[in-house]
Amino acid sequence: MYFGVEGLPWWAILLIVVVILAIVMIIPSGFVFKRRRKKANADETKTIELKTDVVTNGTTVVNRASEFEAAKPQQTKEKLLLGMFNGVGHKTAIRMKSLVYVYPEHDSCELCRPFEGQVLSLEKYDNEIVTMSEAISKGYHHIGCKHVDLDYYPNETVIPVSPWSAKEQTAFHKKVLELFKLEAKLRKLMMTVENGESKTPEIDTMKINDWKGEIQKFCEKNNLTYTDRRINPNQADLGKFTYLAIESEEN
């Protein structure tokens, strides 16, 4: 028996069309989102395994900084609401509070080091976990701090273990501070020449080239990253005193 739509009222026909369109649009997009979510979780797992291998296999100090920095995950911009599905494929569908953990840095200073690998609460008040406000009051996220706070999901997020001991971090941070002093000395001389305040511009120009070479040798000797970005006298102060193990083209 054949049933046509000729005898149906207009609103019934419209309802059928809307339902069909909804099915066509929602099912494929849900399938694609599910596959993307699965791939994202797989990539996240691989990243964590890479960090664990760095510690387990005892990679040398020369390579650990670059590998660990390269494996640093990016912070998500998604805001999660109380009791809502987080929408990013995590097993923890409900997150009762906003939590982050501090990703370790090779040249971590004594102010930030105690918070590395620790979970911090972004809530205003928290009786169980140290809040971000408390951490900042103790020196964390000081001016020039480059630590990254990453989303933490209880019972799911695996916090990477720092491949560096506190002694290694202290020693490396001292080398970075020495580098900053050399660069500051060079920038001062460069500024003097650029402003026409040098009494011996030709000699000072030669000094600038010599000092650049010395800084490059210092970086090679101490496994530091050299960049022209920090020796630029016109660079903002924050950029002059921010050390990045991996320099991007934007910097």
The enclosing H or E element of 121 equals strand 119-121
In a 13 Å sphere around the CA of 151, the CA atoms on its Cβ side amount to 17
pLDDT of residue 32: 46
Taking CA 169 as the corner, what is the angle to CA 144 and CA 245, rounded to the nearest 5 degrees? 55
147 closest CA partner among 169, 175, 179? 169
The single-letter code of the amino acid at 114 is P
For residue 65, what pLDDT band results from cuts at 50, 70 and 90? low
Residue with tokens 């209880």: 154
Length in residues, the chain: 251
pLDDT in tens, 43-63: 444 444 444 444 434 444 444
207: Cβ–Cβ under 8 A, 6 or more apart, which residues? 189
pLDDT of residue 239: 81
pLDDT of residue 26: 59
pLDDT in tens, 214-250: 999 999 999 998 888 888 888 888 788 888 766 654 4
149: Cβ–Cβ under 8 A, 6 or more apart, which residues? 75, 100, 101, 102, 103, 120, 132
- Domain coordinates of the chain in residue numbers? 11-151, 166-240
Helix residue ranges, H only, 91-248: 132-137, 166-194, 201-221, 237-240
The enclosing H or E element of 38 equals helix 10-56
pLDDT in tens, 166-224: 999 999 999 999 999 999 999 999 999 999 999 999 999 999 999 999 999 999 999 99
Provide the mean pLDDT of the chain. Answer: 76
Q: Report how far apart, in Å, the C-alpha atoms of 9 and of each of 4, 5, 15 are.
A: 12, 9, 10
Q: What is the dihedral of CA 76, 29, 94, 162, to 10 degrees?
A: -40
Distance CA(101)–CA(142), nearest Å, equals 17
Q: Report how far apart, in Å, the C-alpha atoms of 84 and of each of 93, 142, 213 are.
A: 7, 33, 56
Distance CA(141)–CA(238), nearest Å, equals 13
